[in-house]
Structure 1
Amino acid sequence: MNHKENLVNIACIQMEPVFGDISGNTRKTIELINQASNKGANIIVLPELCNSGYVFKSRMEALSLAEEIPNGSTIQSWLHAAKQNDVYIVAGIHEKEGDKLYNSAVLIGPEGYIGTYRKNHLWNEEKLYFEEGDLGFPVFETKYGKIGILVCYDIWFPEAFRVYAKQGVDLVCVATNWVPMANQPNEEKRMAVHVAQANAHMNSVFVACADRVGVERGQPFIGSSVIVDSDGWCVSGPASVDKEELLLATCDLSKAQCGKSKTKLNSIMGDRREEIYQVVEKINN
C-alpha cells in the first residue's frame, strides 16, 4: 500500500438538516465544510440525506426532493467547495435517476466529482421510497489512500466491511442517520458506535461516521458521530447525542493493515477459511 500522503486530517460534521429545505441545508453544509477546512481537515464526512432530510410522507414527496448526480444543485455547490478548500467531501444525498430514487452518498474532491455509493441495505420505511443499491461496494482512489463508503444500516452487515478490506480500503466513510435502538438505556451504550469500532478492529480499517441530530417529524436521531482507528479505538468522539459538532482527528492511513500480519503467524485476510464459510449459503437455501 503506497500512499502519497499517509497522514490525513479527517473531519466528521454532525449537523441538523431542515426537512425539505434543499437550498438552506446546502448552504449550511458549505459553511460547515469551510469551518472544517479552516481547522485543517483534508477529508470531510457529512450525514446521510443531509441535503433533503430523512422522514418522507409519500413517494411523491420523496421524488420532489431528489436530484440527479452529478448535475444537481447540491452537488454543484459541493464541487465548488471541494475545489476552493482543496478537500475531499463524502456526503449523503437524495438521488434521482429517471423514476428511481436512491439513498446515496458521493465522493467529491479538488479535482471534481469522483463517484457515488448507493445504500445497499435499506432500513424500515426506506423500502417504500428507495431502490436497493446497484453499484456494489466501489473503491475510490485518492492521494491519501483508498476510500470506501457506506450509509447507516449498511454497517450492521459485516460482509460490507470485509469486501472493502479485501479490496485494500484504508478508510470507510459512513454517512448516517442513526436512530435510538430498542433497550438503549443511555448514551454510554450507543450500539452504533460499538458496531463501527468492531468492524474497524476486525478489518483493520479506519472508520469515520457522521451522524445528524435533532427530531424530524417525530423521529429522534442520536448524534454520536465518531472517528475510529484501524485498531478499533475511538480517536475522536463519540460526539454528543443532541448537539451539532465538528469532530477532527489526524490519522496515519498507512496503519490500515488490510491483510498485513497481526502477529508473525497471523493475518486477518490470510487466516480466512472461505472453504468452510459456504455453509452460510447452504443454510439460507
Structure 2
Amino acid sequence: MTDHCTAVSPVRIAVIQFDPQVGVEHGERNLQHSLALARQAIAAGANLIVLPELCNTGYTFSSRAEAYAHAETLGAGDSVCAWADLAREHGVYLAAGFVERDGLKLYDSAVLFGPDGLLGHYRKAHLWNQEKLWFTPGDLGFPVFETPIGRIGLLICWDIWFPEVPRLMAAQGADIICSLNNWVWTPPPLFDAAGRCMASYLTITAAHVNNLYIAAANRIGSERDGRFLGCSLIAGTNGWPIGEVAGAEEQCILYADVDLTAARSAPIWNSLNDLQRDRRTDLYDAALGYRLHAPMPR
C-alpha cells in the first residue's frame, strides 16, 4: 500500500495475462476464461481488474470479414453484457477489450464497467500493422473517466508508443491508466538481460514522467503466424513496477495494493520540482493539442 496514514481510495489492482485464441469457435471459451480469471482475482480481493486487448476474440484475423464475424455492439454484445454483469454482481471495476461493430465500421475497443454499469468506452487511436485493414481508427479522443475510486483512462497496445496519449490523460487528472495489450513478437532483440521488453519500459517511462499508475495487461501464446510477449506489469507513480513483471509464457494475475488518489500528490524528488507545474506548455507546439485539455487540479 502506498505510504499514507489513511488511504483515501484504496484499490487492489489485478492485471490478467492469458491466452485467448482467434476463431468464432473459440469465442465462448475465451469469454468464460476471462470471467473465470476475473472471479479468481475478485476472490483474492481485487476491485480493479484489467484484461487484455481483444481478450474475447483473439487477435490474428485473416480478413475483415473474419474480424466482422467476431464483432459485437457496445450495448448488446454477449461479452460486454457478461463483463457488465460481473462488475455489477461483485461490485468491482473491470476493463476489457473487444471488437466493436458500429454500423459497418469496426473498432478495436475497450470498455470500463463498474457496479452501476458502463463508465467508459475507448476506441484504439493508433492501429498496428494489419489492424489498419480491419479497423477504423478511434474517434473518441483520449478521455478520462470519473469513477468512485478515482479517475481512470484507457489505452490500447500501440498507443503507449505515442507519449501524447498518457500525457493528455495526465493533463486531465488521470490517477491510473488501464493499458490493454496484444504486444507481439517483433524482430530481435525482444528482451534485455532482465527479461523485460520495450513495451514494459515504455509503460514504466509513461508512468514515471506523468506521475500516475499504469496497469498493463498483455496476452501470451501463439496464434496463426503471431506470437505474444507477455511482460504484463503494474507501474507505480514513480514508474517502477509494483511487484514483478510477468514472464513471456505463463498465464498469471499480478496484484498491487495502492491508494489511487496518491497520484495527485505523489512526490517527485524535491520540494521545488513538479512534473505538471514544470511543463512549458506555453512553448510547446499548439498543434499537439495541449490547450484542448484543461488541466485538472492535483
Give the TM-score normalised by structure 1. 0.93
* Residue matched to 1:166: 171
- For residue 38 of structure 2, what is the aligned residue in structure 1? 33
Number of residues paired by the alignment? Answer: 279
CA contact (8 A) 2:50 2:215 kept: yes
Letter of the 2:252 partner, please give it: E
2:78 counterpart letter in structure 1: S
Rounded Cα–Cα distance in structure 2 between residues aligned with 1:126 and 1:275: 36
What CA distance in whole angstroms lies between the structure 1 residues aligned with 2:252 and 2:219?
A: 10
Of 163, 180, 189 in structure 2, the residue corresponding to residue 184 of structure 1 is 189
Q: Which residue in the other structure is 2:9 paired with?
A: 6
- The 3 A distance-change label for structure 1 pair 13 and 70 is same
Deviation at 1:189, TM superposition (A): 3.7
Partner residue, 2:138:
133
Q: 144-153 or 271-280: which moved more?
A: 271-280
Unmatched segments (≥5 aa) in structure 2: 1-5, 289-298
Contact 2:119–2:147 (Cα < 8 Å) also in 1: no
* 3-state SS in 2 of match to 1:140: strand
Q: Does 1:237 align with 2:217?
A: no
SS state at 1:19 partner: coil
Asked if residue 209 in structure 1 is aligned to residue 234 in structure 2, the reply is no
Aligned to 1:249: 256
SS at match of 1:55: coil
Q: 1:196 aligns with which of 192, 203, 210?
A: 203
Counterparts of 1:108 and 1:4, CA distance in 2: 23
- Is the Cα–Cα contact under 8 Å of residues 122 and 155 in structure 2 kept in the other structure? yes
Mean CA deviation greater in 234-243 or 95-104: 234-243
The aligned counterpart of 1:117 is 122
| Distance verdict in 2 for CA 1:185–1:259, change over 3 Å | closer
Q: 2:53 & 2:165 partners in 1: Cα distance?
A: 17
What is the distance in 2 between the residues matched to 1:114 and 1:271? 32
2:51 is the alignment partner of 1:46: yes
**Aligned equivalent of 1:18, options 7, 18, 21:** 21
Task: Supply the distance in 2 between the matched residues of 1:220 and 1:261 (Cα, whole angstroms).
Answer: 37
Q: Distance in 1 between matches of 2:168 and 2:34?
A: 30
Compute the displacement of 1:80 (Å): 1.2
Moved more, 13-22 or 193-202: 13-22
Q: Does 1:225 align with 2:232?
A: yes
The answer to which of 109-118 and 196-205 deviates more is 109-118
Q: CA deviation at 1:114?
A: 1.6
Aligned equivalents of 2:75, 2:41: Cα separation in 1: 23
Letter in 2 for 1:114: L
Cα distance in 1, alignment partners of residues 265 and 126 from structure 2: 24
Q: Report the residue type matching 1:265 in the other structure.
A: L
Report the alpha carbon displacement of residue 258 of structure 1 after superposing the two structures with TM. 7.1
Once the two structures are TM-superposed, the CA of residue 252 in structure 1 deviates from its matched residue by: 1.6
Q: How does 1:264-283 map to 2 (within 5 A)?
A: 264-278=271-285
Instruction: Pick closer, same or farther for the CA change 1:68–1:233 going to 2, 3 Å.
Output: same
Secondary structure, in 3 states, of the residue corresponding to 1:95?
Answer: strand
Pick the aligned partner of 1:67 from 66, 72, 76. Answer: 72
Q: Tell me the secondary structure at the aligned position of residue 82 of structure 2.
A: helix
Shift of the 261–242 alpha-carbon distance from structure 1 to 2, 3 Å rule, reads closer
Contact 1:18/1:25, CA 8 A, preserved across alignment:
yes
| 2:21/2:59 contact within 8 Å kept | no
Q: Which runs of 5+ in 1 are unaligned?
A: none
RMSD between aligned alpha carbons?
1.9
SS at match of 1:84: helix
Q: Which runs of 4+ in 1 moved over 6 A?
A: 258-261
